A and B are shown apart, each in its own frame.
Chain A
């Protein structure tokens, strides 16, 4: 497989970018895909809290950090890199990737590039779709509808819905179902990956004492996400030579 970059992003905050990144890392690990992750929420890094061993915190606007990610794509043993962009940084990240020639290299077939554009339940979030369009010609571009609440993404209003969703021609849509609030909070408190929580382990690998009901909610939620990622054939996209 050629080196692959999966960018998880949105300019709007609070739409669940890091949650999607976490679910994605669990999915890849469950499918035995070795992955490294970059958390652009410098200097704190929320993703690092849950996936510490595979995550580096970077500032994507810094040349040195761009080199850490992109210059190692070919040399790293781990071929899949997930970049979790911080709120407001999707546009800047895409511009940076274009400016350093990464998008040209994707066009040349050197790397594969997948963009998971996480949408929130607001017009501002939908506005981002048009802003993203110039950068996605050669990307596997997926609109991710994250149902963090009971949003319908304006599906009830065909005019509004068409206005935004017809501006791009995505490879597909990925629906992230809502996770039970208490289950989500318990994983937050545990500070582990979703998979570790389901396995009833602590971040240190010790046996934990999490509720079976909450673990069940997380497991079911993960299975539904896996179904979605299987449906869009994400693994096949990553395996391209």
Chain B
């Protein structure tokens, strides 16, 4: 996750085993069994988070018909059709390359079942772990009754994979029993994407708007109010991403034990 990271122990002496190990490669699987719940937005935010912190990533947009994620990061995000074996190879074989770069999947809701069945059938998680590749599921909740059941089913199918319950307050508000649903997940296993004002939300739409560039150099023709709105929306999201990374880094720092 952090290229060039120093694997030395606390006394400064190099740990041979650690030093030879490439940094862990994370695979962020942004998914939901239902559409229009903010999956592509999360994939986009993670992508811009890596770019804003001057790190690369490799992305996959698994909607072959109306891709929203791929056009925003041309050259970095590949559009794949998981209904074909070729598409599966193009994505999954690449996910398993232990190059230390984050991989981000925007999983089309219609490919949800197919993808998770496939990775269980072919033993993806075990193979990934053997290559120091760590899958993380960002399950996007919605207000439907089927959503908690789908999350439970997925957690049972892949019990060793960390799942972050992701809820996009703008795209899919959880409704009156939100507290009950969220209470099932400890705070560090939740990811909240706040709601955006309609006007600010519209400013997000153009495919050529890069959020990472926006942070460095906001477009001069953008309203000050919109700029402030976007920034205050992105900041807590990026803070959660950073908190996730720091927690994982601490968990993986075996020399502290």
Contact = CB atoms under 8 A, between A and B. Distances in A.
Interface of A: 180-183, 211-217, 219-220
B121 A220 contact: yes
A131 B89 CA distance: 44
A182 B96 contact: no
Contact of B89 (A181, A213, A220): A213
Interface residues of B, number: 13
A219 B86 CA distance: 18
A216 B122 contact: yes
B27 to A, nearest CB: 13
- Across the A-B interface, give the 5 residue pairs with the lowest CB-CB distance, nearest first: A216-B122, A182-B85, A220-B121, A211-B89, A213-B89
A212 B86 CA distance: 12
Contacts of A182: 85-86, 89
Interface centre among A181, A212, A214 (most CB of B within 10 A): A212
Contact of B85 (A183, A212, A215, A219): A183
A213 B92 contact: yes
Interface in B81-123: 85-86, 88-89, 92-93, 96, 118, 121-123
A214 B85 CA distance: 8
A219 B124 CA distance: 12
Contacts of A217: 85, 121-122
Contacts of A211: 89, 93
B15 interface: no
A213 B123 contact: no
A213 B127 contact: no
Contacts of B121: 216-217, 220
Contacts of B124: 212, 216
Nearest to A180: B85
8 contacts: A213-B92, A213-B93, A213-B118, A213-B122, A216-B118, A216-B122, A217-B122, A220-B122
Given A212-B92, A220-B121, 20 more contacts: A182-B86, A183-B85, A211-B89, A212-B96, A212-B122, A212-B124, A213-B85, A213-B88, A213-B118, A213-B122, A214-B85, A216-B122, A216-B124, A216-B127, A217-B85, A217-B121, A217-B122, A219-B122, A219-B123, A220-B122
B60 to A, nearest CB: 13
A212 B131 CA distance: 12
A157 B171 CA distance: 50
A166 B88 CA distance: 42
